[in-house]
Each structure stands twice: as C-alpha cells, then as structure tokens.
Amino acid sequence: MGFTPVTDQDRQAMLDVLGLESVEELFEDVPPEARFQGELNLPEPMTEGVVWPHLLSLSSRNANLDEYACFRGAGAYDHLVPRAIGHILSRSEFLTAYTPYQAEISQGVLQSIYEYQSMICLLTGMDVANASMYDGPTSLAEAAIMACGATKRTKVVAPTTIHPNYRRVVDTYLRSRDLELVEIPAPGGALSLEILRDHLDDHAAGVLVQHPNFFGCLEPVDELAELVHGVGALLVSCVDPISLGILKAPADYGADIVVGEGQSLGNPISFGGPYLGFFATRDQLVRRMPGRIAGATVDNQGRRGFVLTLQAREQHIRRERATSNICSNQALNALAATVYLALVGPAGLKEIAAQCAWKAHYAWEKITALEGFEPMFQRPFFKEFAVKCLGDVDRIDDHLLQKKIIGGLPLRKLYPEMETGMLFCVTEARTKDQIDALVSALGEV
C-alpha cells in the first residue's frame, strides 16, 4: 500500500466541499490555548550508528526482567521461556500473514492450531477447544455469554475473588446484551458456598470461578459443580494452565466451560500483550462456542489433512445464528503455547508447577515470619499469596525497586479496602537466592 501526499489542489477541493475558506476554520472549535504553537521539540536527524546507542540508552531507563527479580503476577507471569520457541515461531510453514482461509495451502498453521486445541483439551480434560481467543478476560466474558445462550437465562454470578479486570470485561460484555453480572463477596479469600446458594435461582445461567483465584487461593471447586448444576446453571472455570500440571483438571470437578490466559505457556510478559485466551467446553455445547475449530480429515486419496471444521462467527454464517463476532484467534501466541507444551511435556509441566508451589510456599513462610508481615488469608494457594504489611506499602515497594526487586502488587490499587495488602507471586524462574534477597530487603523496611 503506497502513500500519496496531499496536494494544494486536494486541500482546496476539500475546503470547497465543506464550504470553508481555510484549513484553520476546521479547528475553530478547539480553544486557542489547546492548539500547538511553535515547533515540535524534536532532535536533529541521526545516522543509524548514532541513533541505535541513543535508543539503547532510552530503553535502559526501564526496569526490565533481565536485571530485576520479579515477584509480581496478578495475571501476567514471569515464567522461563525455552529459547527454541522463538526459532520455531519464525518457520514459514507455521507463521502465516493472515487467517488460513485456503486450507489447501495453510496445512502447517492449521496443523499447529489443531495440535494447540488437542493440548488444551488434554490440559483441561474437556472434549473440545477452539483456536484460541484474544486473551483471558475476553475468554471469560465469551464464556458468560455462552452460558446465557445455552440456558436461555440472563444472570451470571461471580465472586469478587475473580481478577477485577476480568470482572470489568465480563460486565461490559454482558451489559451490552442486557445480561446481568452479580458479584458476590468472598470472605476469607475464597468463594463462600453459603453466600453463593443465596444467589442461585432459575435466572442464573452460570457461575464463574477462578481457580486458583486472584489472590492465589484454591477455591472449593469439588463442592461447586453439584450446587451449580442443581439449579440448571453452568459452571465456568477460569484457570492458570501451569497449575494444571499438579491440580485436578476442571473436567474432573464438573466444569462445563474452561477458559484462561495462556501467556504463561511460552509467551513473555512484554508490556501486557499480545496474549492469548484459551477456551474449552463439553461436546454438547460445541455449537455455541465462539471462534473456530481446526480439524483433521483425509483427502480423496486418503492422505491426512487439516481444515477449518467449525466457524460460528457472523462472517461465515447467518448473523442471527452467530455465537460471537470474534474475528481472529491469537495464532502466533497460540503457536508459542503449543511449542512450549510440546517441549516441556507432561512430566516437565508437572515439574514446573511443583517448583512454583514449592518456591511460593518457601517465600510465604519466610515473609510471614518477619515482624510486620502476616498472612492475609488462611487458604491453600498455588504460586501467589497475599500478605498484610505493617509498614507503608508504597515505601516497601520503592525500597524493593532500589534493590532491583519488583515486589508484590499493592492490593489497594484493585481492592481499596485492602490498604495494607501486597500480592506476591513466585514462579519456577525465581531462585532461592532471589527469594532470600527479597526476604532480606523486606526485613530492612
């Protein structure tokens, strides 16, 4: 696509159509004090040899994870990413410029999507998975809409232990469709079955639960499905895929729809994206699932091939029958997740999950033994945990940054009532020396 400069004749033609004398008249409604005056504060042009060191010096102002030890999670996690992933991602048979509409020439990318779907099904225990979603929050929102459509009901119930940003996205999606999100309190850091029971009626389409939840705590999922299904609603479980290396698969505790953020599967934190959402469900709900599904088949000569099996978006079927207007899956990020799972394998994923749990519990024991720090909740947890701090949270955070440590998330940013809380995360990427340095720095405060 080329760029054609605007000529004086073009500009005058535009003014004639608008009935204006000058370009300045276009901006009469903008107050003079808000208009730019003078020249842009830009440096003189630089050669490549000069501009590269300059850009490096600018980027060095950022606190990056190559130099800082990160103990902050809350939805974006610093896991180890095998170097091989970057090399495989760039292979032309997997990496395509756009949607694989022409199946006969997109076999590589379709096979990678098919393998991705298969691995998500193995992780979650569900029957079918789609070709990925935009991210974790939109996956949960689409699951809520799907539950309403499947049950012909209008209310979705969610505890406040679900990530606040996820709940905001769900609420936005539902409100635009005249559907309701009912948020219920979760004292003690986990869903209360007694409180939930009071909100379940014949208007409830589904119950959303995050397991492990935003605070890292494990929810009472074993007792949840029977309660939810007892009123004819669906159970939607939002999970950390790494946790499934050691925790029970959602299908085993009765989940009907399983979603989550796949960033931790071989994708770096970057600046908060792009990420990928995964989405899996049971066979009987497959035609209500948003997005699309890649499938395996054989051609007229009996050779194995891959196709787009199901596409339930409005571009492919009648609009009133479309389940979603999602247009593209996060193919590159999903490919990274596929390569990651293939490289680590079941035993490797179990080891990674176990290391997250061991190291997080080691850090929890050391931190809560310090004077001025105590557990916020008395619940089993996976790799994240919340603590109460006697000192000023911002002062603690600043002190850690001076030590090149990215500390826990100050919880009041998302939960104003938790003024003294910090949410720490420990993954397999953290070493014992780094954890001990964190504990030492906290002790200094």
Q: Which of 82-91, 95-104, 171-180 has the lowest mean pLDDT?
A: 95-104
Residue 3, pLDDT above cutoff 60: no
Average pLDDT across the chain, whole number:
92
Signed CA dihedral, 419, 180, 200, 217: sign only: negative
pLDDT given at position 85: 95
Block residue for tokens 């006697």: 390
Cβ contacts of 298 within 8 Å, gap of 6 or more: 304, 305
- The enclosing H or E element of 293 equals strand 292-298
Higher pLDDT pick, 39 / 432: 432
Residue 40, pLDDT above cutoff 60: yes
Residue 1, pLDDT above cutoff 50: no
The per-residue pLDDT for range 319-332, each reduced to its tens digit, is: 566 666 665 668 88
Amino acid present at 99: T
pLDDT given at position 90: 86
CB distance 422 to 387 below 8 Å? yes
pLDDT given at position 312: 62
pTM for this structure?
A: 0.87
Q: What percent of the chain has pLDDT over 70?
A: 94
Residue 221, pLDDT above cutoff 50: yes
pLDDT given at position 7: 86
Summarize the confidence of residues 277-297 as an average pLDDT: 92
Residue 103, pLDDT above cutoff 80: no
Amino acid present at 375: P
Q: Which of 98-107, 116-125, 200-209, 277-286 has the lowest mean pLDDT?
A: 98-107
Sheet with 180-184, edge to edge strand ranges: 128-129, 277-281, 257-261, 234-239, 204-211, 155-159, 180-184
The per-residue pLDDT for range 324-359, each reduced to its tens digit, is: 666 566 888 999 999 999 999 999 999 999 999 999
- The enclosing H or E element of 292 equals strand 292-298
3-state secondary structure of 57: helix
Summarize the confidence of residues 404-412 as an average pLDDT: 96
Residue 245, pLDDT above cutoff 60: yes
CB atoms within 10 A of CB 410: 21
Higher pLDDT pick, 63 / 3: 63
Q: Which of 7-21, 291-305, 322-336, 422-436 has the lowest mean pLDDT?
A: 322-336
CB atoms within 10 A of CB 189: 21
**Distance from C-alpha of 271 to C-alpha of 311, rounded to nearest angstrom:** 31
Q: What percent of the chain has pLDDT over 90?
A: 75
Domains of the chain: 69-79+346-444 (3.90.1150.10), 84-341 (3.40.640.10)
Signed CA dihedral, 148, 322, 329, 302: sign only: positive
What are the DSSP calls for 69-121, one per residue?
EE---TT-------THHHHHHT-TTT--SS----GGG-HHHHHHHHHHHHHHH
Residue 269 token pair: 């934190």
